[in-house]
Amino acid sequence: MRGVAIARLAWLNVRRRPSRTLAAATSVAVGVAAVLATLSLGDNVQANLTAELQRSALGSDVRVVAAAGERTVFQSDAAVALLASEPVVRQVTTRLEVLAEPQDPAVENTAVRLPGFDSGFTLVGLARNRHEGSVGALAEGRWPAVGANEVALTRSFASARGFAVGEALSFGTPYGPLGLTVVGVLEDGQGVSALNQGRVGMVERETLTEGLGLAGRATQLDVTLVDPTESAVEAALTRFDGRLPANLMALRATAPAGGSGGLLQTLEAGLQVLAVMLVVLGSFMAYNTFAASALDRRHELRLLRTVCFAARDVRALALWEAAITAGAGVALGVILGLLLTWLLASLNALVLGFTVSTLSVSPAAVVMAALAGVLAGLVAAWKPARDAAFDAPLGVTPSPGARPAAHRGVRVLVGAGVGLTAAVLPVSGWPALLAAGVALVALAVTLVIGGQHAVGPLTALLRHRPANRTTERQLLAGFVERNAERNGVAMATVAVGVGLVLGVAGMITSINAEVRHWVDATIAGDLFVTSPSGFPAEFGAQSEAIPGVAEASPVAVRVVRADAEATRPRSVSAVFVEPERYQLAQNLGGFVTPDGRGDTAALARDLAAGDVLVSEVLGRRMDLQTGSTLMLRTLSGVEPFRVAGTVVDFTAGGDSLVVGYSALERFGGGRPNVFVIGLDAGVSAGDARTWLRDAFPDTQLVATSSEQYRASIVAAVNSSFAATQSLLVLAMLLAGLGVANALAMNLNVRAHEWAVLRALGMTRVRAVRLAAAEGMLITLVGIVFGSAFGLLLSRLVAQGASAITGFALTPAVPLGTLVWLWFGAIPLGVLASVWPAVRVTRLAPAQAFDAEGLKG
């Protein structure tokens, strides 16, 4: 009964203080939103990519493509007949997709396609009348006609390259040049436009098959089932796999193509770490608000203690209020979280090049975020509630032993000890992830608890050098000191935010450093040449005949199916190189072993002998070591390959292996994707480019320098980090909000003192300056602590991410980010101080009398 009465009183209190309730609920909401957005980001990106694949499936349920290791263009008639005879199949259509590059004689194109990173421009040939309603929409012009050499380009591609309706273009393809007239512009993100990140042109299938001499060939069969339900699709896939020839495989229409999400896996690991930290930041803000509320109402709570409340009733009242407020915060947070998820997904879409069409938030993520919010609210309210409960009734002087000692120093030591021990434990794999998690949480909590200890030295510093002591400095020191607990936690908030930024930025820097090292150590040619129309058979030999060209070595990248005993099969990228030439001594490229001390010449010999080299990442993921056997699917079936060693390779995000070029025919053959050209000393890349173009006028060669090629690969890797970087910005904004929240609460508690200062003659400008100085000080100290914490955190994040993804990350110091943070601290501090400072200016000096003086 008493509990009900207390709950009712709590409800009334919450309702009657709408502004405070809103402030506390917003704090909880920010945490909930951050958690929801973080947890949903990966799902959301995935869902949008799936939705894009769904759109690009053009209404089909199953797609049949060449099996990994097979030629991508296959004879389709027999397979079409076979599938059409299946009773579960409603329709089978063929699709022919061909890599192509529009040739613009006015512009010299030096942007080569990066095999394993970049899918280039594609012409999609299909029978439009068989995909009615799912092929997309026209933005301008008309559809290409059957039997005419016409193409419709996506709006984004046409706009980027400056192509307009009516323009006649020549496309270079691996099967020869093809002249097409642009007759239409397609709306982006729909049907065909959703393919290949919008870099497509749609033509009638016959135009391609006739124009390129590929009659009866296809790259994909789109199969529509009579029953499109999940179970029916599953049953059809099983049946098709049993009946289709070995060179073909059936996939769900929305299944992504081969390749690896290695980097995305790494990023998601970082995001999970971020989610934990964002809850801590949100909780801190809620704590501040609850603490300020308890302080504000101290007299009221003491009165209740005097009249009818026991200490535990006061605690119960405060916790009830927190629970109700947290409930409101969760509701608000879910809405904010959805908005944030959408914003983050849109940002990623912009960078990663997909279209946001759906908002996917799993119920589990909502439940997790809601639980985190309620828990954060209650944890945040616990201490203020406890403090309020220890307040004596009116007229009673509290006895010295009434309030138990906090033992904060012991807690800090224990937290730091646990964190540091977990951080340096020499473990790997999942135990490493667990250790990293424990260390991370322990150190963050230690920072939050121990942040106020930083206040002592800080105020001592402010009071140092008596000759220079000014009253304002003393006031500032006093302010910082008297709100040591809140300011300490605010500093810790900034420190955790900065630590997060540095930690995750360290991970990114580490990955970048690895990639750059790989690029620098293995890509050593002078010129990189690709040809959308395919290289002539003797391109290498003919190139080397050109005076000034020392060497020309082919490189091919294919998706192959790999199987190892310990792990499940996966599609990986096989990089085919010439071992005898692909050595750094040849100045064309080479291998680099993870420790940098491996015998690369021996590796090249093993490669020439038919062994394979696996990337370090793939080795970890598939548990492969030197001497292991890797089963790879070839034209002759699944064959064993000996792993000769581990090398650093980030093709397809690290899901890659290196194979001797002579084995290419066993994996479907075809032409190389790129030629690496070595030039004689003194020959410029520009001259060599001209000579090669002159020597091969029909191949539409695209040639780029080594520097540009390397930069393109690093840029391609960097673009994957958009998600993480957007969350880092969020973390810093939350840290700023934490400081603003702490300052605002400090102001609430000291409102009377500010009024006295104003009454004594402190101008608004000086008051604002003093309030802002406190904010700047908290921010700066937080950044100093955060910088140190961040360096430790980068080790932990790298450790955790390595355990999840297989990337061997060496913790790196993100110097650029560090500098940015130090400079960014000034606007962050100013930003955090703006609202509290504005409130200071609004304080009427007359309040100096209101609080304590005459009421007459």
Which spans of this chain sit near other proteins (rule: CB under 8 A)? Answer: 470-472, 474-475, 477-479, 481-482, 752-753, 756-766, 844-846, 848-850, 852-856
Q: Find the radius of gyration of the CA atoms of the chain.
A: 33
Query: Least distance (Å) from other proteins to the CB of residue 773?
Result: 15
Minimum CB distance to other proteins smaller for 81 or for 844: 844
Query: Least distance (Å) from other proteins to the CB of residue 471?
Result: 4
Minimum CB distance to other proteins smaller for 341 or for 483: 483
Query: Least distance (Å) from other proteins to the CB of residue 470?
Result: 7
Query: Least distance (Å) from other proteins to the CB of residue 482?
Result: 6
Query: Least distance (Å) from other proteins to the CB of residue 822?
Result: 29
Minimum CB distance to other proteins smaller for 212 or for 848: 848
Cα–Cα distance for residue pair 601/588, rounded to 1 Å: 14
From residue 254, give the alpha-carbon distance in Å to each of 60, 228, 419: 9, 13, 44
Query: Least distance (Å) from other proteins to the CB of residue 835?
Result: 20
Rounded to 5°, angle at Cα 499 from 371 and 814: 135
Minimum CB distance to other proteins smaller for 610 or for 845: 845
Angle, helices 722-749/764-805, rounded to nearest 10 degrees: 140
Q: What amino acid occupies position 37?
A: A
Query: Least distance (Å) from other proteins to the CB of residue 477?
Result: 7
Q: Is 142 exposed, middle or buried (0-12, 13-18, 19+ CB in 10 A)?
A: exposed
Minimum CB distance to other proteins smaller for 237 or for 757: 757
Sort strands 122-126 and 200-204 into parallel, antiparallel or unpaired: parallel
Minimum CB distance to other proteins smaller for 286 or for 770: 770
From residue 313, give the alpha-carbon distance in Å to each of 273, 300, 305, 318: 38, 13, 8, 9
Contacts of 232 (CB under 8 A, 6+ apart): 88, 225, 226
Longest dimension (CA), the chain: 105
Cα–Cα distance for residue pair 212/39, rounded to 1 Å: 47
From residue 46, give the alpha-carbon distance in Å to each of 50, 247, 311, 348, 665: 6, 29, 51, 11, 35
String of DSSP letters for 684-713: -HHHHHHHHHHH-TTS--EEEEHHHHHHHH
Query: Least distance (Å) from other proteins to the CB of residue 855?
Result: 6
297: three-class secondary structure by DSSP = coil
Minimum CB distance to other proteins smaller for 205 or for 758: 758
* Of residues 184, 187, 142, the one with CA closest to residue 163: 184
Query: Least distance (Å) from other proteins to the CB of residue 846?
Result: 4
Minimum CB distance to other proteins smaller for 547 or for 761: 761
Minimum CB distance to other proteins smaller for 659 or for 837: 837
Cα–Cα distance for residue pair 606/593, rounded to 1 Å: 14
Minimum CB distance to other proteins smaller for 694 or for 850: 850
Query: Least distance (Å) from other proteins to the CB of residue 594?
Result: 57
Let me know: does 222 contact 92? Beta carbons within 8 Å: yes
Query: Least distance (Å) from other proteins to the CB of residue 20?
Result: 19
Query: H or E stretch including 218?
Result: strand 217-218
Angle, helices 311-352/363-390, rounded to nearest 10 degrees: 150
402: three-class secondary structure by DSSP = coil
Query: Least distance (Å) from other proteins to the CB of residue 842?
Result: 11
Cα–Cα distance for residue pair 109/135, rounded to 1 Å: 30
Query: H or E stretch including 419?
Result: helix 408-424
Minimum CB distance to other proteins smaller for 157 or for 479: 479
From residue 752, give the alpha-carbon distance in Å to each of 352, 478, 609, 741, 846: 53, 15, 84, 18, 10
From residue 604, give the alpha-carbon distance in Å to each of 115, 562, 579, 593, 629: 21, 21, 5, 12, 18
Query: Least distance (Å) from other proteins to the CB of residue 475?
Result: 7
* Of residues 159, 153, 156, 123, the one with CA closest to residue 141: 153
Cα–Cα distance for residue pair 827/240, rounded to 1 Å: 61
Cα–Cα distance for residue pair 106/295, rounded to 1 Å: 73
Query: Least distance (Å) from other proteins to the CB of residue 392?
Result: 19
The set of long-range contacts for 563-569, using a CB threshold of 8 Å and a minimum separation of 24, is 563/630, 563/631, 563/632, 563/633, 563/638, 564/622, 564/623, 564/624, 564/628, 564/629, 564/630, 564/631, 565/629, 566/622, 566/623, 567/621, 567/622, 567/623
Minimum CB distance to other proteins smaller for 459 or for 705: 459
Minimum CB distance to other proteins smaller for 143 or for 849: 849
Minimum CB distance to other proteins smaller for 188 or for 753: 753
Cα–Cα distance for residue pair 502/789, rounded to 1 Å: 9
Minimum CB distance to other proteins smaller for 516 or for 766: 766
Query: Least distance (Å) from other proteins to the CB of residue 296?
Result: 18
Query: Least distance (Å) from other proteins to the CB of residue 856?
Result: 4
Minimum CB distance to other proteins smaller for 95 or for 302: 302
Cα–Cα distance for residue pair 644/21, rounded to 1 Å: 65
